[in-house]
Structure 1
């Protein structure tokens, strides 16, 4: 005996609940299955709790700088780690509860708590019951990748999930991985007062970015006392009475770093290994992602993969856009394609990095004639007024069509200011249109037209 629905949604992350809302509003019956925490990575272990920590760390940092602004703060600035943890956990709990209440109160939506596994192309089992639907949407997200490092089984270690349960401050946090997640936690805990060392296997931090961005971020962290060990050719772990020894074999510095805590921040993997995909005729790629087409449909008609599990984006906003694409195509008669999406994202160190489109290295690799404009944040009035002048702005433009190709804004408000460029790129507007805009003063965004007015050949 089985129950039939118009659609089954597996996972209550960023795409799933909104899709359930659109489908039920269109009169369809939906079964939504969530095995653990409603809200997915963003709400529970990603954006919301980590940015709550970023906010606490920024408050501590600004309080220590109060004298720079003529403000007197009596006594030393201290951290209450239990209060910090309670705040970020409260932010997540509130959002998680809101998502679950919305779904459980949604007319036409049946919410089940349990682990879903495919029984066939259009059948899913959960809690001993089989559910059937013509359309099934997989929105199972991902988790931290734990690499098979020598000694990993002999020492305690943290991931981006377990570190959120800490309500004490590490004496010395060693972060293995010099990319987005690792760098955010590195700065957070340094500002909380922990000693922090970042261990990166490659020759520079955030290797996905241009070298000038990597160098600027490294400088920002160094100014705050974060140690960085690059070219860690043989990372290995070993227990020590006072914590964990991390072997690095770097070209410079001691070959071993001893920390009280170790955070593994070396990437993520999709939660696709226990879904019974083979029963549906589905296979994953070498990294565990479910391949999808332009409409996010898998190789099995009627089965879709959305969010982190499809390998077409690793962000909350791309997962939500996956929902938008599917809903528009199925319910609105649109023909939207995932390849039309312009990539954009941010690194939430302080100052943040806002990124959209192509990097300078990617533009150079195309061989096309291009223009580049740059400006240091020391020449951005808003940054000077706020006393936050680290970083720079960079915009890339096609020399012939004047199309906007990409941008990086590393500086105060960079995560917001970059949207002016992202929006113009989405609208298909050329650089001169943005150059002749009249932005508000004083803002970071007002310097974008200035940068575009000072373009030079990319050589």
Structure 2
């Protein structure tokens, strides 16, 4: 048994753990990075990058089918080779993962430990069966895993999560997607455009992250044009029938439906990876999920020299937020007890569907009634959107009644990922809607739709 005495132990070598390791080391601490699974982040292996590869293939298929309205006719049907699609997804995914693995393996061997870490007490970790680590401070950056409700666990390999999709060698014929969150919407539309028959079963009326009732309603109509979407389904039974899954569910009207699928893709959320850590051996206060109670600003668990970063804390499970949290946690662990709060960036959320879905700043549901006004634009008659035949979408921007500052937006529409960045920058710079309208808008671009929404909200505000 090897024994190691260290200033900072970082558990997890993912999107939060790697920045935490580097930040703590840059601050002068002795650091060790502990990883029990394969190197390569969730984003690179089974998240952001492989999903965008699948989406890119789906967009190519959709574009090829959509040329006739322009007077451009492609002879014959569009043929999708599922094996070729998945081969490229896996090939390019492995390339992205390789870059991450390389950046991890250049860390000196003496600063890396392979094995799952368990707490023996507040400051002692057992790594695998080979190393005992005595750490003055600890950063927990163990990430998260997909949650599969009990009903679907009995389906064996026919109940899959997003990780499993990227292991397919070919595309299936028919899939049920359980959950209408970001992952479900992105993969559901991609599979549908690639020729898979898709049924999406939501439970609480969700449409990704949207909270604005009008935008959610518009989103439901758009989704239903792509595949069968039941936003308020109640699944009563899920059973195996040979190599298929039989689902029985009721829709929002209470009508009973039964159908059979090749797979059930469960996108019912993710849960922090805490089970292996043996946190019951510590004096850390745990919440109902078994996650240490922590300060979301400093990421510190109570008064302990323990910091929780990235998807493990489930505050903002996004790559750029995980990286920011990792750096902050690493710096705080190295400087402890001189702990400083994390300065978060403007909130931004993007769903890579077509049309895209995005949110920036405060959600509609979080804004105090009467404190804001709403500007609106429909993309159905927006010039550039109509030129491209991508004219579907509705946007709401929110402005504070008193300060006239832009405070948030929710929308579905073309080029949402790019407009979201413009709005996030405006929010972080604390601009008023008046100042935003002094910025240049080229013609003809989709962003002119944003200008329309801003003009709409300014017209409702009292004269400046």
Structure-2-length-normalised TM-score = 0.90
Q: Aligned with 2:359: secondary structure?
A: strand
CA distance in 1 between partners of 2:384 and 2:319 (Å): 29
Deviations 1:397-422 (A, max 9, x none): 01111122211231111012111111
Q: How many residues align?
A: 454
Structure 1 312/121 Cα, relative in aligned 2: closer, same or farther at 3 Å? same
Pick one of 352, 360, 365 that aligns with 1:361: 365
Contact 1:124 1:132 in 2 (8 A): yes
Of structures 1 and 2, the one scoring higher in RCO (CA 8 A, sep 6+) is 2
State the Cα deviation string for residues 55-114 of structure 1 (Å, max 9, x = none).
111111111112333444343212222222222222332222222221221359722221
Alignment match, 1:452: 454
Aligned to 2:170: 168
Of 415-424 and 85-94, deviating more is 85-94
Structure 2 match to 1:289:
291
1:212 corresponding residue in structure 2: 214
Q: Which 5+ residue runs of structure 1 have no aligned equivalent?
A: none
The 3 A distance-change label for structure 1 pair 228 and 20 is same
Secondary structure of 2:10's aligned partner: strand
- Report the counterpart of residue 161 of structure 2 in structure 1: 159
Query: Equivalent residues in 2 for 1:424-435 (5 A)?
Result: 424-435=426-437
Partner residue of 1:337 out of 331, 338, 341? 341
- 8 Å contact from structure 1 (residues 207, 214) kept in 2: no
Cα offsets for 1:358-401 (capped at 9, x unmatched)? 233332xx133311111111243332232211112210001111
Query: Aligned match of 1:299 in 302, 316, 336?
Result: 302
Unaligned runs of 5+ in 2: none
Q: Could you tell me which residue of structure 2 aligns to residue 184 of structure 1? A: 186
Q: Is the 8 A contact 1:29 1:108 kept in 2?
A: no
Distance 1:427 1:401, change over 3 A: same
Structure 1 residues 382 and 200, CA, compared in 2 at 3 Å: closer, same or farther?
Answer: same
- The corresponding residue for 1:14 is 15
1:346 aligns with 2:350: yes
Residues 301-331 of structure 1: CA deviation (Å, up to 9, x unaligned): 2211101111311222221221243356567
* CA positional deviation for 1:283: 4.0
Task: Tell me: CA distance 1:391–1:328, structure 2 relative to 1, closer, same or farther (3 Å).
Answer: farther
In the alignment, does 2:440 pair up with 1:442? no
Partner of 1:311 in structure 2?
A: 314
| Greater Cα offset, 5-14 or 375-384 | 375-384
- 8 Å contact kept, 1:118–1:275: yes
Q: What is the alpha-carbon distance in structure 1 between the residues aligned to residue 85 and residue 243 of structure 2?
A: 25
Q: Is the 8 A contact 1:414 1:444 kept in 2?
A: no
2:82 maps to 81
C-alpha distance after superposition, 1:341-364 (max 9, x if no partner): 54221112111112112233332x
Q: TM-score, normalised by structure 1?
A: 0.91
Q: Supply the RMSD in Å over aligned alpha carbons.
A: 2.5
**Cα deviations by residue, 1:12-58 (Å, 9 ceiling, x for unpaired):** 11111122223333443321111123232211111111111111111
Aligned to 1:423: 425
Q: Which deviates more from structure 2 when the two are superposed, residues 172-181 or residues 336-345? A: 336-345
- Provide the C-alpha distance between the structure 2 equivalents of 1:331 and 1:68, rounded to a whole number of angstroms: 60
The aligned counterpart of 2:239 is 238
Structure 1 pair 38–70 and aligned structure 2 pair: CA distance change class (3 A)? farther
Aligned pairs (5 A) from 1:22-421: 22-106=23-107, 110-127=111-128, 128-149=130-151, 152-154=153-155, 156-203=158-205, 205-206=207-208, 208-224=210-226, 226-241=227-242, 243-250=244-251, 251=253, 253-293=255-295, 294-299=297-302, 301-326=304-329, 337-338=341-342, 340-363=344-367, 366-421=368-423
Change (3 A) 1:336 1:90: farther
CA distance in 2, matches of 1:383, 1:14: 36
